[in-house]
Structure 1
Amino acid sequence: MRGQMMQLPLDIGSILRFAAKFHGDTEIVSRTVEGPVHRTTYAEAALRVARLGNALRRLGVKRGDVVGTIAWNGYRHFELYYAIAGLGAVCHTTNPRLFADQISFILDDAGDEVLFFDLTFLPLVETLAGRLPKVRAFVLMTDRAHMPANSPIPNLLCYEELVEAESDDIDWPRIDEHEASGLCYTSGTTGNPRGVLYSHRSSVLHAMASNLADGFALSARDAVLPVVPMFHVNAWGIPYSAAMVGAKLVFPGPHLDGTSLRLLIADEDVTITAGVPTVWMNLLAHCRDTGTDLAGLERVVVGGAACSASLMEGFEALGVRVIHAWGMTETSPLGLANTPSRKSAALPAEAQRKIALKQGRPIFGVDLKVADSHGNPLPQDGHSPGALKISGHWICDGYFRLDPVDAHAEPGWFDTGDVATMTDDGFVEIVDRTKDMIKSGGEWISSIQLENVMMSHPMVREAAAIARPDDRWGERPRLVVALRDGAQATPAELREFFEGRVSKWCVPDDVLIVDELPHTATGKLLKTALRALYAQVPVDA
């Protein structure tokens, strides 16, 4: 017997329709590339999205076409998210921090037919335009006053003119929830980047799950500042999840320095923000140097890389609660969020802190297991490390044009490439990336554990652990460290800091102090570059 419930598709357009109808006067605030702060509402945004939908149709965009964006977090990018998906086309967000060759490969591989981009990236697109034969229209996301007088880009159009020329009366198509809605490429530190193709269903379910109390817990009472870029895994789904509950959205544009973020948090009464650790280290340094606080900010989501104890303590000292989260492009991205359970909240303070530094526990909609080399689940004892595998409604089961994910993959499971442990109540700790583990004398050493210890040193701004070849042990750990501005410390002092904090055989043999550490385009430490630069440097060099 079948239930007698309405059959309505889980489509992205329904999110904005709901926000416009029931939270129509809630603000969307943007720091713009052009300079001023722009203010609109969900109701006004819905009308602009309709006009943009008509403009896209006039440009020849059809169901299933791929439309590219290279843009910061702002109201125009938000409009594109909903207009492109609303037509049944695919919104392909591209990371401008990648190398030019990677960007041209991604745009060509995706088959972008129209490319929208912010003023900041005009020079970049001018250099790429001749290498993008599939792109038939380029749209600069600005008004006529800021359009360049001369540009080598063919068919360069003005975003605001396109929108203003259209009616806000549009007949949106009925969407099959399994249709593709978005496309995002992995950063591709080895080989070419690979595309992950999201569906309407996966994106809506991901937004609903992330809004659970044990997720980001967004509500109509919040003002949300997504610092994580909209060109990276849909800004962790926040443009969908915030609209779904009618939360105020605050977009930072290209202004991601500590001063700009603190002012935006204060001026717009931001209650929750989300981003990678490097951004938060800069914000905390600004607050420390200026003696300012983050009054009104209640919680910060830290993802993209492990949250160190010092980062968590820095926010807590300012009265801000940290939500440690984990995910990846292939998981839409949210897979884990670290919020206390009834059991963990009853533990002593020190035990609670250790749990808070883990990546978190799964939210409903995903399943996890830690497995041995044969795919067999390992004990959930918090001590047995193995391959972290994930399954769920918003987990990819194949890369764009490159099915399947892995010819040797276990059906129904995606191998994250992480090594992890899991407790009996689901708290997961990422021990390392499989390729970043250090094997010394037949024993595994976690680079993440060493980095977390080093990051708690008051003189250290950033640290990375890599393996260096060793004739006796095979590999030994080496720390590469960048100190805080004006700080002083010797390699010997930094090595001594490990005594009593890790097993003796895990203590790094040496520490190299450098000015800066290399990062990927999404802000993660670039271990491949670190190994190339420093793995072969002689000890005590």
Structure 2
Amino acid sequence: MRSTMQNVPLLTSRIIEYAGRVYPGSEVVTWGADGPRRTSFADIANDCRRLANALRVLGVEGDQRVGTFMWNNAEHLELYLGVPASGAVLHTINIRLFPQQMVYVVNHAEDRVIFVDNSLAQPFSALLAHTPLVKHVVVNGPVPPEVRQALAGDGEREVHDYRELLDAQSDTFDWPVLDENDGALMCYTSGTTGNPKGVVYSHRSNLLHATFCAGAGALSLSQSARALAIVPLFHANSWGLAYASMMSGASVIMPDRFLQPEPLVKMISSEKVTCGGAVPTIMTGVLEYLDAHPEADVSSMKDVIVGGSACPPALMHAFHERHGVTLLHGWGMTETSPLGTVAIPPVGLDEEEHWRYRHTQGRLALHVEARLVGADGSEQPWDGTSVGEVEVRGPWITASYYRDDDAASLEKFDDGWLRTGDIGSLTPDGYLTISDRAKDVIKSGGEWISSIDLENALMGHPKVHEASVVGVPDDKWGERPLAVVVGVPDDVPGVEELREFLLTKVARWQVPERWAFVTEVPKTSVGKFDKKVLRAQYAEGALPVESPKAS
């Protein structure tokens, strides 16, 4: 029997029309040097229609790619909504990639039109000599004549002003009826090994994913919520926050380029932020600022989804105990849209059990299936202790990479499942705990040591600001952990102090023999510890390694 339901495609254009009509007074707040700039959902919807008309003027037809090189602001959100709704595919370029990687992704995606913030226009202009397919550059805000000339080159490209371009268009547009499985938006992986890989999200996958993000299993968004979008629109589909906020009527606070702790705290205080999304390194800086400025008022903020890398339990407890803020662990990756889990504990638990669930990566979303594959290829049970590589599948999980079918890319997929590269366990009730990345787990004398567990333990020490742990070659054991530590200013702990501290947290055989104390741990373009760089620095003798005998 077939259902009697209407077959209406799930399209992003529906978010525009719904948000503009049903939540016209909700707002997008863009932070600037002179304070906030406000745009209503109704105005956002009108600008999306103007944008669609402007794209036609620029010759964008069908599924051509439209790039963005922008911070989080109202204009970027309009592009996020309006470009896919028009039938084109939005390519959000990660502004923190290396220049050669940026050139690669622009050419690989075949971007023809690129929108760029004026504060990024000068560095962006240096890339254009290597991206011959780009014919139009649209700048959000004024730029000096010499920058405009650099963007135009020797007449190879036309340069437009964003506001002037949109104001010349009608605010009516008939959104095309698309196939819901057509590409809507594309992001590239951060490319820590090899070239970045392209992931193309569909209209259907984006709406299903955003519905989960807005719901009770994640941020419980509503019209009364005010979401701070610290996570960039160009990073892993913005964790679904942009679409989820618009469809639920939650006002969105966009920090633009003001991502330092002081302005972020000012945004939270003045805009009465209730929730948001950020990586742990950002929240570490916010915590330090709050601790140093007890007069700062962040009492409105209740929940922040933290992902991108493991959130140290010490950071979760500090926010909860000192500032009343709940950091919710989330897990995912560019390939999973990205959210696959969020650590909302079951109800009715005592405090110890509550925190045990909070420390996991979270409960699997309804539409995300998962399995654990052991080293011998066998599927592992969901018993909370058995470990294996996490493989997932579902309607917002990619099945391939865009225009990539090399052996390394194909190796990421296993009979319809995405191999995440994460090693973890699952409880009987579907809570995922990641113990390490497959490439980062330390194989010592036939046993595995979790670099994440050691990092979390070290960052629980009051004198440790940051800590990253990598495996390095060892003649006796094959591999042993090297701890790279950033101490708090003027009070850096010693090796013996940290060893004694770790002995209360992990087994003695897991405690590192090698230590390096640095002023900063290198990070990737998305704020993760760059362990590839640390391994290279160790191999080159560039780290100040101490190896004192254990007492």
One-letter code of the match for 1:162?
Answer: L
Alpha-carbon displacement from aligned partner over 1:506-537 (angstroms, at most 9, x marks no partner): 01113211011000000011110011112565
Secondary structure, counterpart of 1:497 in structure 2: helix
Could you say which residue in structure 2 is the equivalent of 1:181? Answer: 184
**How much has 1:483 moved relative to structure 2?**
1.4
Check conservation: 2:228, 2:277, Cα contact below 8 A. Answer: yes
- Cα 1:407–1:274 change in 2 (3 A) is closer
Could you say which residue in structure 2 is the equivalent of 1:134? Answer: 133
- Cα 1:183–1:150 change in 2 (3 A) is closer
- Pair 1:151-2:149 in alignment: yes
Alpha-carbon displacement from aligned partner over 1:19-46 (angstroms, at most 9, x marks no partner): 11111111111114x6452111111111
Secondary structure, counterpart of 1:130 in structure 2: helix
Secondary structure, counterpart of 1:521 in structure 2: coil
Query: Out of 308, 329, 334, which is 1:324 matched to?
Result: 329
Matches within 5 A, 1:94-133: 94-133=93-132
**How much has 1:433 moved relative to structure 2?**
0.3
Could you say which residue in structure 2 is the equivalent of 1:22? Answer: 22
Could you say which residue in structure 1 is the equivalent of 2:12? Answer: 12
Check conservation: 1:302, 1:325, Cα contact below 8 A. Answer: yes
Query: Out of 412, 419, 436, which is 2:416 matched to?
Result: 412
Could you say which residue in structure 2 is the equivalent of 1:493? Answer: 497
Whole-Å separation in 1 of the counterparts to 2:378 and 2:124: 48
- Pair 1:200-2:203 in alignment: yes
Could you say which residue in structure 2 is the equivalent of 1:540? Answer: 547
Secondary structure, counterpart of 2:71 in structure 1: coil
Matches within 5 A, 1:281-292: 281-291=284-294, 292=296
Alpha-carbon displacement from aligned partner over 1:343-370 (angstroms, at most 9, x marks no partner): xx42x32232222111011011111111
Check conservation: 1:215, 1:363, Cα contact below 8 A. Answer: no
Query: Out of 221, 237, 255, which is 1:234 matched to?
Result: 237
**How much has 1:203 moved relative to structure 2?**
0.3
Check conservation: 2:471, 2:480, Cα contact below 8 A. Answer: yes
Matches within 5 A, 1:274-423: 274-291=277-294, 292-317=296-321, 318-342=323-347, 345-346=348-349, 348-403=350-405, 405-407=409-411, 409-423=413-427
Alpha-carbon displacement from aligned partner over 1:431-455 (angstroms, at most 9, x marks no partner): 1000001111111100000000001
Whole-Å separation in 1 of the counterparts to 2:412 and 2:206: 27
Whole-Å separation in 1 of the counterparts to 2:143 and 2:188: 33
Could you say which residue in structure 1 is the equivalent of 2:194? Answer: 191
Q: Which moved more, 1:487-496 or 1:530-539?
A: 530-539
Alpha-carbon displacement from aligned partner over 1:84-108 (angstroms, at most 9, x marks no partner): 1011110000111111001001100
Aligned length: 536
Whole-Å separation in 2 of the counterparts to 1:282 and 1:167: 44
For normalisation by structure 1, the TM-score amounts to 0.96
Whole-Å separation in 1 of the counterparts to 2:31 and 2:327: 25
Whole-Å separation in 2 of the counterparts to 1:150 and 1:120: 12
- Pair 1:44-2:43 in alignment: yes
**How much has 1:273 moved relative to structure 2?**
1.3
Q: Which moved more, 1:326-335 or 1:152-161?
A: 152-161
Could you say which residue in structure 2 is the equivalent of 1:215? Answer: 218
Check conservation: 2:421, 2:437, Cα contact below 8 A. Answer: yes
Check conservation: 2:148, 2:159, Cα contact below 8 A. Answer: no
Whole-Å separation in 2 of the counterparts to 1:146 and 1:177: 42
Whole-Å separation in 1 of the counterparts to 2:369 and 2:146: 50
**How much has 1:408 moved relative to structure 2?**
7.6
Could you say which residue in structure 1 is the equivalent of 2:155? Answer: none
Secondary structure, counterpart of 2:177 in structure 1: coil
Matches within 5 A, 1:507-522: 507-522=511-526
- Cα 1:490–1:158 change in 2 (3 A) is same
Whole-Å separation in 2 of the counterparts to 1:534 and 1:354: 35
**How much has 1:170 moved relative to structure 2?**
1.3
Matches within 5 A, 1:422-433: 422-433=426-437
Q: Which runs of 5+ in 2 are unaligned?
A: 153-157
Secondary structure, counterpart of 2:499 in structure 1: helix
**How much has 1:487 moved relative to structure 2?**
2.6
Could you say which residue in structure 2 is the equivalent of 1:2? Answer: 2
Measured on the aligned residues, the alpha-carbon RMSD in Å equals 1.6
- Cα 1:249–1:40 change in 2 (3 A) is same
Could you say which residue in structure 2 is the equivalent of 1:258? Answer: 261
Whole-Å separation in 1 of the counterparts to 2:167 and 2:22: 25
Q: Which moved more, 1:458-467 or 1:35-44?
A: 35-44
Matches within 5 A, 1:46-65: 46-65=45-64
Q: Which runs of 5+ in 1 are unaligned?
A: none
Alpha-carbon displacement from aligned partner over 1:96-144 (angstroms, at most 9, x marks no partner): 11110010011000100001111121121111111110000111111x5
- Pair 1:79-2:78 in alignment: yes
Check conservation: 2:516, 2:546, Cα contact below 8 A. Answer: no
Whole-Å separation in 2 of the counterparts to 1:212 and 1:136: 41
Alpha-carbon displacement from aligned partner over 1:439-497 (angstroms, at most 9, x marks no partner): 11111100000000001001111111111211111111110011123332112211221
One-letter code of the match for 2:175?
Answer: W
Secondary structure, counterpart of 1:16 in structure 2: helix
Whole-Å separation in 2 of the counterparts to 1:468 and 1:140: 46
- Pair 1:482-2:486 in alignment: yes
Whole-Å separation in 2 of the counterparts to 1:205 and 1:14: 13
One-letter code of the match for 1:151?
Answer: Q
- Cα 1:330–1:145 change in 2 (3 A) is closer
